[in-house]
Structure 1
Amino acid sequence: MLSDAPSLLSAPLPRRLPSTMGLRVVEAVARHGSCSGAADELNLTQSAVSKQLRGVEQIVGASLFARNRRGLEPTEAGHAFIGPAREVLVALASAVGGVAGFRQEQPMLRLHVLPILGDRWLVPRFSRFAEEHPEIDVQFTNFVAHGTAEAADATFRFGEGDWPGQQADYLFGRDVALVAAPDLLARLGPIGDVGDIARFPVLDHPPTPLRWGEFAEANTVADLVPQRVIRFGFYALVIRAAIAGQGLALVPRALVVEELSGGRLVNPAGLGFRSRHGYWLTRPADRPPSPALVLLRDWLVAEAVGMQEAR
């Protein structure tokens, strides 16, 4: 019957045709001999199967099944209908498979992200990129310094921008601010210059390249001796401790924009420094970036420039 399909293209189709689900219901009921069996196979309720079956019978104008002791048996009209219906379903499945090679797979990007960067900068704004490019599937994983289970298309790193075998695009982070909670200054007094820092505890994350010595050098102070140094194993805790009023911290300004604008943190006397280190998006230099990665890189750079960091 399907071999005659090309000759039918010139003739209009009937105005009412059964739905694909209706055809599947009829075919499944014929094989199982019951609505319950068809319902289980198609993940439908029995009432939904019965409704679909009635709808097809209304369109064809005849009963397709009759009930006997063994269940539902095709009527003479049913036998005439079920065979062509099964052929139609097989042809549809074949047509879907035939165009599989023409589908464009959704581009996917796998990114390794530093937790502090993801939490405080990337994730809060990433919905804008997702809305602009819903066709790109972006997967985030934790950054691993020495090998990963899955290769990344791009990696966010913190440093001076020079990693062997990597092409790096600078984002932000060189604008480093001295920050403190207002209640800390209320307890220990205001900060008018670098010398006042000696009255305060400072918060430190030893693995990060943001050194208090670099701050002292940038502010022409020979020796910076704080009241005490409180060290944390995670940089996120440095920021949390600063907000809680436990000490002074050196933080890339872009990571605490909301806290500074909302008054939870302040930048005493505008103190800070221009660091050699910052956040970068890196990718393997030995292969060209995919179109999806180019879109993401351009968006990230534009977002970073839009912060108007002192670059």
Structure 2
Amino acid sequence: MKRSDIPSLDDLRAFEVTARLGSVRLAADRLALTHGAVSRRITKLSEDLGFKLFEKSGRGLRLTPAGETLNLTLGRFFTELATTVESLRAANARQNALVLSCEPSVAMRWLIPRLANFQSAHPDIALHLSVGGGPVEFRRERIDLAIRRLDFALPDAWHVQRLFPEKMGPVMSAHLAPAFASGEYIALGSKTRPDAWSHWLSLHPSAPRPTEIRFYDHHFLIVEAASAGLGVALSPIVLATDDIDRERLIAPAGFDPDGSHYGLIWIGEPELSGKAHDLARWLEAECKISLGKVGMQ
């Protein structure tokens, strides 16, 4: 069959909806057409094909054998067409979205609770969040920007905007303060920085030593455990700032800089523009507001 011999898509659609709903009237309502318009399209389709599609059955209609065959094919066709269109729309939306990669602990404890504010301020920006740590596969994973602790070598082609210096300190629920002061406490550490407690204790020789150190897989877990009263967590300030502000946690020994920084990194043009620039400015402002409450500035 030549392409010119393929019936009108409008006529095929009118037939398929009528066959599926079993009524010209219902098909007309679904297609926002008049009863007569649907009937004319089905009649034209039948004439173009050269065989009947429906036959009368009492007060209604039923498909002819040829109509049944055509309907089965059209059902598969329209389903596949709808799936393809939806897939293409999703792919286009991903291409137009801004993808931000962030370390898991920072994403869960600091970034995600603030993203609603970003969406309210920038409703036109579709922000997709990806979690990951260390080096970033910008092109392979189609990442636009990444928040990382800058503790690894960066390629010369990468650009960096520093967000805040890293600071570490012991945090705990208020009822554990006496135990911390007397050395009768369990220290909570992250496996991602196994020497953090040893380093902190060396900086504070007069601080009481813990009875033991227990390690969790991630920092966000030890901060949550500290909030639940399970011990004293040695936490980056960015992960504890909200709980300190809400008085779920206290930090009696304060926070010490460890010499590293968190930064926003990207590739391509050295100056951000458009959506990426808007996100960078918002992140910078949020860091100053939220982390300034507990002495970051």
Structure 1 residue 296 displacement after superposition: 0.9
2:280 is aligned with 1:297: yes
CA deviations over 1:9-51 (Å, ceiling 9, x no partner): xxxxxxxxxxxxxxxxxx777558xx6534469x998544334
Structure 2 counterparts to residues 185-196 of structure 1, below 5 A: 185=177, 188=179, 191=181, 196=182
TM-score by length of 2: 0.63
TM-score by length of 1: 0.61
Q: Give the greater-gyration-radius structure (CA).
A: 1
CA deviations over 1:225-272 (Å, ceiling 9, x no partner): 43211112222221122122222122233322332233322222x433
Structure 2 counterparts to residues 5-44 of structure 1, below 5 A: 37-39=16-18
Q: 2:219 aligns with which of 198, 219, 235?
A: 235
Q: 1:50 aligns with which of 7, 13, 28?
A: 28
**Contact 2:165/2:259 (<8 A) preserved:** no
What secondary structure, in the 3-state scheme, does the structure 2 residue paired with 1:277 have? strand
2:128 is aligned with 1:136: no
**Cα gap change, 1:107/1:37 in structure 2, threshold over 3 Å: closer, same or farther?**
closer
2:296 is aligned with 1:310: yes
**Cα gap change, 1:280/1:50 in structure 2, threshold over 3 Å: closer, same or farther?**
same
User: In structure 2, what residue type is equivalent to 1:49?
Assistant: A
User: In structure 2, what residue type is equivalent to 1:136?
Assistant: I
Matched with 1:125 is 114
User: In structure 1, what residue type is equivalent to 2:176?
Assistant: L
**Contact 2:161/2:265 (<8 A) preserved:** yes
Structure 1 residue 115 displacement after superposition: 0.9
Q: 1:212 aligns with which of 197, 208, 216?
A: 197
2:186 is aligned with 1:201: yes
**Cα gap change, 1:222/1:45 in structure 2, threshold over 3 Å: closer, same or farther?**
farther
Structure 1 residue 56 displacement after superposition: 7.5
Matched with 1:264 is 248
What secondary structure, in the 3-state scheme, does the structure 1 residue paired with 2:250 have? coil
Structure 2 gaps, min length 5? 1-7, 47-51, 56-93
Q: Tell me, in whole angstroms, the C-alpha distance in 2 between the residues paired with 1:55 and 1:310.
A: 70
RMSD of aligned Cα (Å): 4.0
**Cα gap change, 1:53/1:152 in structure 2, threshold over 3 Å: closer, same or farther?**
closer
Q: Tell me, in whole angstroms, the C-alpha distance in 1 between the residues paired with 2:23 and 2:286.
A: 50
User: In structure 2, what residue type is equivalent to 1:242?
Assistant: A
**Cα gap change, 1:266/1:30 in structure 2, threshold over 3 Å: closer, same or farther?**
closer
2:143 is aligned with 1:152: yes
What secondary structure, in the 3-state scheme, does the structure 2 residue paired with 1:130 have? helix
Structure 1 gaps, min length 5? 1-26, 58-62, 73-104
Which is worse superposed, 201-210 or 129-138? 201-210
**Cα gap change, 1:133/1:108 in structure 2, threshold over 3 Å: closer, same or farther?**
same
Aligned residues with identical type, % of pairs: 20
CA deviations over 1:192-235 (Å, ceiling 9, x no partner): xxxx4x3322111242388234434544x278743211112222
